[in-house]
A and B are shown apart, each in its own frame.
Chain A
Amino acid sequence: MNLAMLKPGEHGKITKMGAVGPLKRRLMDMGVLVGENVKVEKIAPLGDPIEVTIKNYNLSLRKKEAEGIEVEVVK
């Protein structure tokens, strides 16, 4: 299960970061860390990118970037 698969309104907990190099560092700098709770807020009108809430602020990223972030669904 990865972040791009979550539907708007669903919560997840990050279990693994698949990205490497600058992309990984950038995500981590933005607070996307293993163990963090994340909620998918919206999908852009054209289907990509997505908006998530993490660390109490709103972040947008492309689905391709979200695919590298493993999550488990939190009910």
Chain B
Amino acid sequence: MSKTIQQDEEIMHHASGAARQKTITIAVAGNPNSGKSTLINAIAGTRLYVGNWPGVTVEKKSASFEYEGTAIKLVDLPGTYSLSPYTQEEIIARDYLVHEKPDVIVNVVDATNLERNLYLTVQLLELGIPVIIALNIYDEAVSKGYKIDIRTMEDVLGVKVIPTVATKKSGLDGLLKAVTNISGSASMHHPKKLNYGDDIESAAATVEKKIKSSYPQLLHKYPLRWLAFKLMERDCHVMEEIDIGLDNSFAAFIAEPITHLKKAHGEDIESIMADERYALASGLSREVLKRPEFRKMEITEKIDKVVLNRFLGIPIFLAAMWVVFKLTFDFSAPFADWIDAMTTGPFKRWAEAILGFINPPAWTVSLATDGVIAGVGFVIVFVPVIFAMMFFITFLEGSGYMARAAFVMDRAMHAIGLHGKSFIPMLLGFGCNVPAVYATRTLENPRDKALTSLLIPLMSCGARLPVYVVFIGAFFTACAGTVLWSLYVMGIALAVLMGIIFKKTLFKGESPMFIMELPPYRMPSFRSLMIHTWEKGKHFLIKAGTYILAVSILVWFLLNLPWGVENKKDSYLGKMGQVIAPVLEPIGFGNWEAASSLVSGLIAKEIVVGTMGEIYVPKAGDKKKAQPALTDDLKEIGASFAGAIKDSASNVFSTFGIASLKSEESAEEKEERSPLRDTIKSKFTPLSAYAFITFVLLYMPCVVVAIAMKQEFGTWKWFGIAFAYQMVLAWVVAFTIYQGGKLLGLG
């Protein structure tokens, strides 16, 4: 919906841009870690619209607003070091710049790392689009004793240079003023043509002339100088786009100046160009930047001496991960419980009361409360954990520690075909697979992201614990700890195994590189953290929420239809269970009750227990509870919310109590479950029980994980693969355990 509006806007903008008051389109480009995100957040704040670039999973942020009467559209390009044709991010950035032709590029440059940042600037200038440089992190450069001659920088590049400190919102006004002035004084904004040296320039001139005479149609599509450079570099992306690579006369024509260049430099042309661009960046950096002669040891170095130490590095990393894990789940758990209590308690009662006035058929009441309200509750329950996870992940990335974590863990993760950064999503998986899948967005390479997401469901999440608890309580009270431990270890071991298998099959031949900047440690701005967290939470609520609600209603239909079935065996779910049961026969639990419970676990694995309860221990009529008055309800909501805040705070600040992992069962719950345990004892043997919980550990990701994967990858493909391999894996492992156990005489 919003996408079409955006597109319409763009069309209108192109059609009548000159006639009506013009909207200025700004593309913001810059290196990763240059403070670009913070700058965008500081300018656009809550007006940011976060979506995806078409066809890919790279995040696209944009915002439309007015500044002093001028309409501005801001588009954030992915952070890149260069504009090569090899990574998704770089292709997106250059395609946008070349084809959408923004009015101005705001190039965010890290003042403390001038040379490498200017390498991108040099490439941006090739496009001939007006550029304004935001010389960001300027305060840090000043405090390091750097002196940057801004006037000379402006003269050499022919662009405006504005010092900014995005974290303190300083310089942003000047930046926006420069942007709105862009149409006024064109001279200052039209970048100078930098001189690439006589031989490159003369080769470029020859190619430009040829393009003009033989392919004039390309002049409308591409900036001439940029196109000439790309053709000289034999840029695969551009060659593919314009298709003259096939044209022999052109290829022959262009080959001559290139061969000449190659001979003179003894290098391939791509390297010659990169060398020359860096020479320009270095030259400029030397000209305008004065560093103090005596360099004191920086804070980053001091921290890294400890954090990346040979002996301390891993313990510190594990401790940091423990804290993040605990904070994510302990902070969010009380709120999740509160939301759960609200939707199953007061909200459900109110809906029943309101529906009671119009006296509808019983099934509509059930659909509204058990289907819709429970479904909505199920969506909202995830919000606190997604918010908390996003907050901490953003903090880890913004502070610079994420890169260190990847550095420390890469060797171990690389062994199973993953990237150092994969460790954090995998770890979060033990709490809940859903935020874990969202956390894979810290991985830049699509292959790493996909493989990590495929392995995440093997991390035993918190929702599987209630199932283990019931079965362990029924059969393995003597060695409860060992059995529980064996399940977690089995998940990890199988993840290692599957990682190796996937590396050699599905992802054969591709081996992504690990060339990563270790940025200086910095305190991320709170505002930026909050905006990022809020965007992600909102995104989940709206996009994932719709799907989850639909699935939850579907499950209601399965459980309750045909309406009024006395025996659960005759419900659609029961019938599905009967169909599936024979497949489960060889693995120890070939009955419709177990099969139906497993099907209902599609929505969340803890539901397996609830369904078993309903099937095995039918309630002897609903317990009549006194209906609390509305005022009591309201008081209770307020009080329990206050309690949730208190619990959350005490979880975070006090000890690292294991609130999120221990299964807290109230006395009432225990009382309800004991008949279930007795029934389970009569229906399962210890061996089939163990096979069953193993199956529950492995058999498939829940529906919310499926939706998270769909959202992150824009396709159902990876969920499909995860579903298929896990089903097979679960069956094979359970089969081995059950049949192997029987052979050993354990059955």
Q: Which A residues are closer than 8 A to B by beta carbons?
A: 17, 22-31, 33-34, 42-49, 51, 55-62, 65
In the complex the two chains form, is A25's CB within 8 Å of B514's CB? no
CB A45 to nearest CB in B, in angstroms, measures 4
Does B310 sit at the interface, judged by CB under 8 A?
A: yes
Contact among B84, B115, B275, B408 for A44, CB-based, below 8 A:
B408
13 examples of A-B residue contacts, CB within 8 angstroms: A22-B84, A22-B513, A28-B274, A30-B116, A44-B408, A44-B411, A45-B313, A47-B411, A58-B518, A59-B516, A60-B514, A62-B414, A65-B513
With A30-B81, A33-B274, A33-B278 known to touch, is A65 a contact of B514 (CB < 8 Å)? yes
Taking A25-B86, A57-B116 as contacts, is the C-beta distance between A44 and B407 under 8 angstroms? yes
| Chain A contact surface mostly | mixed
Chain A CB within 8 A of B304 CB: yes
User: B285-313 toward A: CB 8 Å interface, digit per residue (1/0)?
Assistant: 00000000000000010001000111101
Summarize B's interface: helix, strand, loop or mixed: helix
B275 in contact with A51 (CB, 8 Å): no
Q: Which of B81-126 contact A (CB under 8 A)?
A: 81-82, 84, 86, 113, 115-116, 119
Cβ of B271 within 8 Å of any chain A Cβ, yes or no, is yes
Q: Per a CB cutoff under 8 Å, which of B271, B274, B310, B518 touches A51?
A: B518
What is the CB-to-nearest-CB distance from B330 to chain A, in angstroms, rounded to a whole number? 28
Set of chain B residues within 8 Å of A58, measured between Cβ atoms: 300, 517-519
Decide: B408 and A45 in contact? CB cutoff 8 A: yes
Contact with A along B305-339 (1 / 0, CB 8 A): 00011110110000000000000000000000000
Q: Of the candidates A22, A33, A62, which one forms a contact with B275 in the assembled complex, judged by CB atoms under 8 Å apart?
A: A33
Complex CA distance for A67 and B300, rounded to whole angstroms: 27
A49 and B514 contact, Cβ closer than 8 Å, known pairs A44-B411, A56-B115, A62-B414: yes
State whether A44 touches B82 (Cβ < 8 A): no
B291: nearest chain-A partner, CB-CB: A56
Q: Determine the residue in chain B with the shortest Cβ distance to A59.
A: B517
Please tell me if B535 contacts chain A, counting CB pairs below 8 Å. Answer: no
User: Which residues of chain B are within 8 angstroms of A34 by Cβ–Cβ distance?
Assistant: 275
B242 contacts the other chain (Cβ, under 8 Å)? no
Chain B residues near A44 (CB-CB < 8 A):
308, 313, 407-408, 410-411
Give how many B residues have a beta carbon under 8 Å from the other chain's beta carbons: 38
Q: Is the CB of B407 within 8 A of A17?
A: no
- List B residues at the A interface (Cβ < 8 Å): 81-82, 84, 86, 113, 115-116, 119, 270-271, 274-275, 278, 300, 304, 308-311, 313-314, 403, 406-412, 414, 420, 513-519
Closest partner residue, chain B, to A8 (CB atom): B310
A68–chain B nearest beta-carbon distance, Å = 11
The answer to whether A42 and B304 touch across the interface, beta carbons within 8 angstroms, is yes
Which 10 residue pairs across A and B have the least CB separation, nearest first? A46-B411, A29-B82, A45-B313, A58-B518, A28-B274, A22-B86, A48-B411, A62-B514, A61-B515, A29-B81
Instruction: Please name all residues of chain A whose beta carbon is closer than 8 Å to the beta carbon of B519 when the two chains form the complex.
Output: 57-58
Complex alpha-carbon distance, A61 and B307, angstroms: 18
Residues in B with CB closer than 8 Å to A57 are: 113, 116, 517, 519
Closest Cβ of chain A to B235, distance in Å, is 10
Q: Which residues of A contact B304 (CB under 8 A)?
A: 42
* Cβ contact within 8 Å between A29 and B308: no
Residue in contact with A45 in the complex, picked from B115, B270, B311, B518, CB distance below 8 Å: B311
Q: List 9 additional contacts besides A51-B407, A56-B115, A62-B414; criterion CB under 8 Å.
A: A24-B271, A29-B82, A44-B407, A45-B313, A46-B412, A49-B411, A57-B116, A61-B513, A62-B514
8 Å CB contact of B271 from A28, A47, A48, A65: A28
CA–CA, A27 to B271, complex, Å?
10
Q: With a CB–CB cut-off of 8 A, which chain B residues contact A46? A: 314, 408-412
